Every structure is written in structure tokens, then in C-alpha cells.
Amino acid sequence: MLKPFLDFPIFATNRLHLREISHEQAEGLFNLLTNAEVTRYYPVIKFASAQDCLQVIDMFSLRYRQQEEIRWGVFLAGGNNLIGIVALQNLTHSGKATLVFALHPAYWRQGFATEAICAVTAWGFEQLGLSCIDAEVIPGNVVSERILVKSGFVFTGFYSEKLEWNNKKYDINSYVLTPDCLPNRTSVT
């Protein structure tokens, strides 16, 4: 059973700060979600300007209040520039969630995605009482698959046309993480 959450969880790892995304970060979110390298395997709606992201940020907040998802902004420790997002979404009362993440290419290959994922998934198991976290990756996104495996996720299969976004169907590779698969974790404060 999913434990209720009231205050937005804010925490830090050795190098990162994870907190709620606010309107202040609209420009950073726009830069992230309009980057062709980021969206190559991460289908998102098309944005014309940072102003368009304000409604998306409000949607993140609403879904949080409805206890459907928690979407963190990823920031370098001591910084205020959004470098990525990580989320537990599709939260169910049966204790399941789906992990979603994206990081700006300027911060790739430095271990930041793994660090953020490990912090969020540990929190999900410990504080929400999740029993399982899944992740879906569009085939070809080898880097994200490596990040998931490094974070303890296990490949569970290929599914043809399982993901539908904007009237287009995508194949996916499915991964799952359970509490007994947790690797050594980054400390979270």
C-alpha cells in the first residue's frame, strides 16, 4: 500500500539537489525539453517558448497534489539552474510506480543521472513503501538502458508498440527495480 506524502520531498546527494520544479525554472525546462538530443528517445509535446512550460510545471504540481506523481528538478548542489528531471509517476495504491528521467547533454557521462535515480528510487521504497518501480526505454537508447542497469534495474522484456504518445506508437524495452535489487546507494540527506 502506498504511503501518503504531504510535503514535497527535497533532498541532496553528494553532488545534486533534488526539489520541486517552480515557474522560476521554466527557461531551464524549456531548454531541456526542446533539446534534440534529449528528445530523440523521449517524446514530449512541442514547446514554442519557455512560457509554454509554465502550464507543464502547473501540471506537475497538480499531479503531485493528487498523489499521482512526484517530479523533481535536478540541480547541481548549490546551484539554481535546472539540469534535468527525475520522476516517480503512475503511482498506484498497490505500491508501484514508473521512473522517468532526462538530463541536459552538458551533464551526460558524469554519473548525475545514476546518482539522481538511486536517490529517488531509494526514497520511493523507504518513504512511500513502493514494492516495484518500472522504467520504459525506447529501443536504441542504449545510454539510458545502461544507466538503469547501473541503478539496479533488471531488463524484463521487449514490447511492440506498447507506448503511445501523440497518436504515435513506440516499441519499448521494459525494466524493473524491486527493493531486493538495490545496489549500494548514494547517501541522501
Kindly report the CATH number that applies to the domain delimited by 11-131.
3.40.630.30
**What distance in Å separates the CA atoms of residue 141 and residue 177, rounded to the nearest whole number?**
18
Q: Give the model's pLDDT for residue 93.
A: 81
Q: Evaluate if residue 187 carries a pLDDT over 50.
A: no
For residue 4, pLDDT beyond 70: no
Rounded to an integer, what distance in angstroms lies between the CA atom of residue 13 and that of residue 50? 28
Q: Is the distance from CB of 12 to CB of 19 less than 8 angstroms?
A: no
CA 57 to each of CA 45, 51, 54, 72, 145: distance values in angstroms, whole numbers, following the listed order: 13, 10, 5, 11, 27
pTM reported for the whole predicted model: 0.90
H-helix segments, 44-111: 53-65
pLDDT in tens, 76-110: 999 999 999 999 999 988 899 999 999 999 999 99
- Average pLDDT score, the chain: 90
Instruction: State percent of the chain over pLDDT 70.
Output: 94
Calculate the alpha carbon distances from 133 to 30, 69, 84, 157, 187 in Å. 27, 12, 20, 15, 20
